[in-house]
Amino acid sequence: LHDKAPLGLMDTPLLDTEEEVHYCFLPLDLVAKYPSLVTEDNLLWLAETVALIECECSEFRFIVNFLRLQKILLPDNFSNIDVLEAEVEILEIPELSEAVRLYRMNMGGCSRTSCPPPSPGKGGRAAGLASVKPLYMMALGLLVKYPDSALGQLHIESTLDGSRLYITGNGVLFQHVKNWLGTCRLPLTETISEVYELCAFLDKRDITYEPVKVALKTHLEPRTLAPMDVLNEEWTAEITVYSPQQIIKVYVGSHWYATTLKTLLKYPELLSNPQRVYWITYGQTLLIHGDGQMFRHVLNFLRLGKLFLPSEFKEWPLFCQEVEEYHIPSLSEALVQCEAYK
């Protein structure tokens, strides 16, 4: 866990667009199982247990839900099946493709092979593939984190109205520099050849790259156990006390919420669910693996102690599955007592 929230989650991203940007948090164990979810083009932030990616459409949450639950759970009268199917085809995950195909057959619709595909918008994947690679989207705070560095000077001297910067060098290896700026750690690729290339790249840089060099050297050095006399030294635990009114940022799938620590502690089963809930920064930033849109109703229950769902609610299968995954008995009981559910 990091001492502070990653800058990329707090600052305004450097995005050359005024359109809505869809994003999604993915557990790294899910990424390990389905590597096609993350590419060098859609990765926004990488941490020890989670990756943050940019999505092409809001329907991407249904894909992640299927990969988590192994169930295709879509709203009643779902009308964006073409958009969802287009995204599924790009990922090339067999079980996902089969699930969407069966859903299409059950709803009596034609497949994309017999129906004309929707025309891609300005922010579509087709436009992204045509752009110059590699292209990284970064928070402004990352670039100015080290103002005396080459990146900081480039930003200060730039006249590009703060929307796009061009840097000469090895763009593929720059992802490691970007990860260092965001996390102050150096998560490296599993491909050992790129480690050698990164070392060679850093050897040619000046002193401004020294923190990255030190991090890489530390990463590659053999791990040794601390001497016994060091382990036996007296130590004092550091205790931080948070007010019940402390505002907590909660990131869930493709959404984020702000609530108080008091609200989250009303039902302790939530925070004691290690398979689903992780602290990014203790007492400040919380990550929950689940459907972000459905969590709105869960959070309302945490606040009010009652379950309020819209009269036209159409996502019962998904919501019921989410409630089951949270393991909060009071929430499960509230769902059973819900008139609309009956």
Domain tally for the chain?
Answer: 2
Last residue of a domain, one of 111, 130, 149: 130
**Domain of residue 287, residue span:** 247-337
Encoding tokens for residue 274? 């290690």
Each residue of 89-102: pLDDT tens digit?
999 899 999 999 99
Question: Domain holding 315: CATH number?
Answer: 3.30.710.10
Residue 318 lies in a domain: yes
pLDDT at 119: 42
CA distance 176 to 310: 45
Mean pLDDT on 242-247: 91
- Predicted confidence (pLDDT) at residue 300 exceeds the cutoff of 60: yes
Q: What is the average pLDDT score of the chain?
A: 77
CB 70 within 8 A of CB 33: no
Residue 1 lies in a domain: no
Each residue of 283-297: pLDDT tens digit?
888 899 999 999 999
Residue 28 lies in a domain: yes
CA distance 122 to 231: 58
Give 253: exposed, middle or buried? Use CB within 10 Å, 0-12, 13-18, 19+.
Answer: buried
Last residue of a domain, one of 114, 130, 146: 130
pLDDT at 306: 92
Residue 227: asked if its preceding bond is cis (omega within 30°), the reply is no
- Predicted confidence (pLDDT) at residue 160 exceeds the cutoff of 80: no
Each residue of 138-153: pLDDT tens digit?
666 676 677 767 666 6
Last residue of a domain, one of 105, 130, 155: 130
pLDDT at 294: 95
Residue 96 lies in a domain: yes
pLDDT at 282: 84
Each residue of 319-337: pLDDT tens digit?
999 999 999 999 999 999 8
Residue 70 lies in a domain: yes
Residue 141 lies in a domain: no
Residue 212 lies in a domain: no
Band (pLDDT 50/70/90 cuts) for residue 230 is low
* pTM (predicted TM-score): 0.61
CA distance 155 to 121: 30
Each residue of 175-216: pLDDT tens digit?
777 777 766 666 655 566 777 777 888 888 888 788 888 887
- Predicted confidence (pLDDT) at residue 158 exceeds the cutoff of 90: no
Residue 20 lies in a domain: yes
pLDDT at 256: 86
Backbone φ and ψ of 152, nearest 5°:
-60, -40
- Predicted confidence (pLDDT) at residue 67 exceeds the cutoff of 70: yes
Each residue of 255-266: pLDDT tens digit?
889 999 999 999
Q: What percent of the chain has pLDDT over 90?
A: 29
Backbone φ and ψ of 126, nearest 5°:
-60, -40
